[in-house]
Amino acid sequence: QHFSRLNASGQGSNLKDILQNKIDDLEKQVLSRVNSLEEGKFGPRNESEERGKIESTLTSLHQRISDLEKGQKDNRPTDRFQLTFPLRTNYMYAKVKKSLPEMYAFSVCMWMKSSASPGMGTPFSYAVPGQANELVLIEWGNNPMEILINDKVAKLPFSINDGKWHHICVTWTTRDGVWEAYQDGMQAGSGENLAPYHPIKPQGVLVLGQEQDTLGGGFDATQAFVGELAHFNMWDRKLSPGEVYGLATCSSKALAGNVIAWAEGNIDVYGGATKWTFEACRQLN
């Protein structure tokens, strides 16, 4: 009843504070339950029951937040949102509704924020039939962040898990497997011979927040992304340094991916991952 009495237009910040407190309380409950499970206090049947309870509680809370934020959403552009993955689990993720075409080049860019240690996990993974690691971005354990294409690996010179928002882009072309990595609008590194002459295969599954060991599943909690993610966009071409800089500084009209564009209608969330309003570059102002 307390929620229903809130005036969404006049008390947006108050509403968000209340919701954040609810989420914080729930996270503590979840962590407590997860710790109990890991300590072996439950049998296999009870473990699955507890996992079911946790998932349903998180999902219902997410639905409640969605309903409460609906008034705000109706008045904002569909790309002004972020995904939050607060816990390292094997069931919290988001799925992009459309797949990728065959691509001979790509650029993938996003805003992310994480302080997870060791490693922030897997911001995204794209699996196709017969190849779970067709295109993956992962920072696992004490390894640097890596981009995988058809199981081939390039180490990326990013330094981003400091709990602050960062803009990152990776570009690649199949010709000679040339790649470039950008952090906060500036090129941080480049290389070649990354899966040269291998086109990115179509008709796969694109997941945010988890690494796929099988098509659309096989998640491992140790590889899960912990943090916040926004403006995940993909193009079937190599962006220019100027285009990347414009995205990172919000100095130009928002460039949307022609393959995957960041919009609420393009993404489904599962297992308690949540959506919040996000304004790109607010941390730069």
Q: Which residue has the tokens 């803009």?
A: 167
Q: For residue 43, give the DSSP letter.
A: -
Give the residues across from 170 on adjacent strands: 108, 181
Q: What are residue 61's phi and psi, to 5 degrees?
A: -65, -45
Residue 62 backbone dihedrals phi, psi, to 5 degrees:
-60, -40
Q: pLDDT: is 54 or 125 the higher one?
A: 125
CA gap 33, 50 in Å, rounded: 8
**Alpha-carbon dihedral 237, 243, 246, 251, rounded to 10 degrees:** -110
Going from N- to C-terminal start, the domains of the chain cover 13-70, 81-277
For residue 2, the model assigns a pLDDT of 40
63 pLDDT higher than 90: no
Residue identified by tokens 């237009």 is: 9
pTM: 0.77
Side-chain-side CA neighbours of residue 162 (13 Å): 7
DSSP code of residue 79: T
Q: Do the beta carbons of residue 221 and residue 228 sit within 8 Å? A: no
Do 144 and 156 meet the contact criterion of CB atoms below 8 Å apart?
Answer: yes
Question: What span, in angstroms and rounded, lies between the C-alpha atoms of 222 and 119?
Answer: 9
Number of helices (H) and strands (E) in the chain: give both, helices first: 4, 14
CATH topology of domain 81-277: Jelly Rolls (2.60.120)
Of 18 and 121, more confident: 121
Is the model's pLDDT at 131 over the cut of 80?
yes
Query: Greater confidence, 45 or 207?
Result: 207
Question: pLDDT tens digits, residue range 247-273?
Answer: 999 887 778 999 999 999 999 999 989
End-to-end CA separation in angstroms for the chain: 37
Quick one: DSSP state of residue 257? P
Sheet holding 267-270, edge to edge: 152-155, 146-149, 131-139, 121-128, 205-208, 93-96, 267-270
- 3-class SS of residue 23: helix
Exposure string of 246-272, with b = 16+ CB inside 10 Å and e = fewer, is bbbeeeeeebebebbbbbbebbebbbb
Say what the pLDDT of residue 3 is. Answer: 40
pLDDT for the residue numbered 69: 60
Q: In 3D, which of 18, 21, 37 has the Cα closest to residue 91?
A: 37
**Closest among 84, 92, 81, 88 to 57, alpha carbons compared:** 92
